[in-house]
Structure 1
């Protein structure tokens, strides 16, 4: 998936400047007619870049708007995502609307979360559940026969557009999905992570794609669709993820659901870490002490959470709480607990819910240091140093990483 965080500024190309100018103009528009004018110009430029796989220009424009005009950044990001995850295609003199879907499974375990090729029975169950609970009666479906981890997902708008085009053809023509899946990257072993099934839904232009868009009697509200989806898919997914606890989210547009799954897995990462430390070193949650600090070069890109045994300054484990493209924290509010939506408040709540009551919070921004020898992230201690997390010598040697 495309995850954007602003990078150091570089000299802008004319294409970048045009994208930025159009995004700022659209953000400042005062009427729907003007909106349409600027949006059309922006979409034409973005589509040309997507077709030529010129992702660098799109990323540079996102960087620039993120720094100078957050509303324009939202506008540009929305337009780029829309063009990457949806399209209209002509087939037999009729137009079809297509949307790329992410079907998230937010999972955690004490063992390992599987990924890889989907068994036939899971593909068939997924198709049946999409048709009965999610898609409108006239819609067609295509499903990639693979259970994706986040590191295997498309990492740019350009790659996502190619995937959307491939699935659009398969859905509209009711043909086999033609993708090379054998060269998929290895999945990093973590104990709390989302898994995704990727699909596309297609319907004749102007007709509903989803059941909540349809007229009665086919109409079904989102909440009803979600419950039906979860009930129908519980058994097939449980067979796919033995030893895992999981939550099924409503199938929705690709980028929206990727962000939602990423955010929902963060508190589960803390819960999984506490469970892991209890089972590995025999320390109950009330016996743990945590230190939390924000890390980034010019702004907070992530929070790192250190776990120690109460009474000891040694960091035995660490969890990363990443910030995503539409999350930002002012450097003078890194330690904010007043705002319920602040990352520090969410982290503190997640630690409390996991049973950890001793939490020390740094108000400073740490450099995003990694270990020179092994490349592992360093975690903050109470004194303000970034240190290596080391399990006790008598702990099991090989352990999975956390999200």
Structure 2
């Protein structure tokens, strides 16, 4: 189950009602044949709305279904993501129609630093190298590739399904024709973080029904998992030195390129523990203390009233002898995650012979804090409405007494280290 936008639900238009009705019908069918017929109708309607940038109609349906019918909500969300990250093209080859299928993929890079994580245009020579490694180690035979010549921060990615749809079609045409892609004149500014994710965006095209990735080829069906792991290892080995040139002063971890939305969600989850490690490394070095000299405070936040759901945890860091919050990180919850943990992804093996243990997000956060040497951790029982600084927009964090404050480094901190969020 995915979380909807927080906007209030407007009165549904005819287009929104049709999306909701088709999604509910798909849930109720009794056969794959019926399901695929209805899915084609849903896809056609989504194509029309995305092509004309009617994102509001889609959002209204999603918000309504999230409240009233979670199964139908998942159907619609899967549908709109699939349509916005894919396309088809038809061409004539020797008098025969050939259909190409296109898929928007993201190649995430986890990065951490005490300085600045770069983003923006990628030089031509580096683009050539990355494209060669991408094709050689990840793609199936007979595919074509177009990589956008930009290293994207998360707040520079397409913000809506309609924007993702437009990017997919733009890159698909480039991959099909072999034409160059022009980088945007200026990407939006991005907030500096000690740990963050950067993305390469690309479109792969292949003949309809043919595999796109190397591990999906028929020869690897028996050892799919091993071939996928091998491809990732080769991609990491070859791409990491080149990507490191784009992000000087950073430690990086290259993740497996996958379909756009899946890759982004996986990167969002994996960067969270990296943020904790980067924060503690930063604080111990800048403040000249040991990890054991720090205290962490964990508090749950949401967009609704204090008795609503937790959407994210905010982790404050103080020195043990003071209550002043010197730094903070945000640990957002995604998908089926909630404050109590979920059976799908929250079970961890227990002691030999015992039942698996349900691990909550707070348990996971505390585990990562202890791994880096912070043993003094306080959990605030109160649930807060998510608040931000009126001046700079930074999130507010709970201090040990439960008061929401702005994270501020001590006045004697060396210059150039206080600008991180």
SS of residue matched to 1:319: strand
Tell whether the 8 Å contact from 1:147 to 1:195 is kept in structure 2 after alignment: yes
Structure 2 distance, partners of 1:386, 1:259, is 29
Partner of 2:389: 371
Segments of structure 1 that go 5 or more residues without pairing to the other structure are: none
Mapping of residues 2-151 of structure 1, within 5 Å = 4-92=4-92, 93-151=97-155
Please give the TM-score of this superposition, normalised by the length of structure 2: 0.88
Post-superposition Cα deviations, 1:20-64, rounded to whole Å, max 9, x if no partner, equal 222222233332122113212221221111011011111222222
**Alpha-carbon RMSD:** 2.5
Aligned partner (choices 284, 293, 300) of residue 310 of structure 2: 300
Partner of 1:196: 199
Post-superposition Cα deviations, 1:134-174, rounded to whole Å, max 9, x if no partner, equal 11111111111111111111111100111110111111111
Structure 2 distance, partners of 1:27, 1:314, is 52
| Offset, 1:362 | 2.2
Post-superposition Cα deviations, 1:358-395, rounded to whole Å, max 9, x if no partner, equal 11112332011122344322111232221121211111
| Offset, 1:3 | 8.5
Partner of 2:278: 272
Q: 1:13 to 1:145 in 2, by over 3 A?
A: same
Post-superposition Cα deviations, 1:207-249, rounded to whole Å, max 9, x if no partner, equal 2211112233899721111111111112211222222111111
Structure 2 distance, partners of 1:374, 1:133, is 43
Structure 2 distance, partners of 1:391, 1:26, is 53
Structure 1 distance, partners of 2:211, 2:341, is 46
Tell whether the 8 Å contact from 2:280 to 2:372 is kept in structure 1 after alignment: yes
Structure 2 distance, partners of 1:245, 1:180, is 25
Partner of 1:234: 240
Aligned partner (choices 334, 338, 361) of residue 329 of structure 1: 338
Partner of 1:205: 208
Please give the TM-score of this superposition, normalised by the length of structure 1: 0.92
Tell whether the 8 Å contact from 1:318 to 1:379 is kept in structure 2 after alignment: yes
| Offset, 1:302 | 1.6
| Offset, 1:180 | 5.0
Matched pairs, number = 398
Tell whether the 8 Å contact from 1:300 to 1:331 is kept in structure 2 after alignment: no
More displaced stretch, 81-90 vs 234-243: 234-243
Tell whether the 8 Å contact from 1:337 to 1:344 is kept in structure 2 after alignment: no
Structure 1 distance, partners of 2:420, 2:215, is 37
Structure 2 distance, partners of 1:185, 1:270, is 26
Q: 1:52 to 1:349 in 2, by over 3 A?
A: same
Post-superposition Cα deviations, 1:290-313, rounded to whole Å, max 9, x if no partner, equal 111111122222211111111221
Structure 2 distance, partners of 1:396, 1:74, is 49
Partner of 1:185: 188
More displaced stretch, 203-212 vs 157-166: 203-212
Tell whether the 8 Å contact from 2:341 to 2:361 is kept in structure 1 after alignment: no
| Offset, 1:98 | 0.7
| Offset, 1:337 | 11
Tell whether the 8 Å contact from 2:291 to 2:373 is kept in structure 1 after alignment: yes
Structure 2 distance, partners of 1:341, 1:35, is 36
Structure 1 distance, partners of 2:300, 2:420, is 17
Q: 1:95 to 1:7 in 2, by over 3 A?
A: same
Partner of 1:394: 412
SS of residue matched to 1:112: coil
Structure 1 distance, partners of 2:347, 2:131, is 44
* 2:285 is equivalent to residue 285 of structure 1: no
More displaced stretch, 35-44 vs 158-167: 35-44
Structure 2 distance, partners of 1:399, 1:182, is 29
Structure 1 distance, partners of 2:220, 2:407, is 57
Tell whether the 8 Å contact from 2:106 to 2:202 is kept in structure 1 after alignment: yes
Segments of structure 2 that go 5 or more residues without pairing to the other structure are: 349-356
Structure 2 distance, partners of 1:401, 1:394, is 14
| Offset, 1:193 | 0.6
| Offset, 1:114 | 1.0
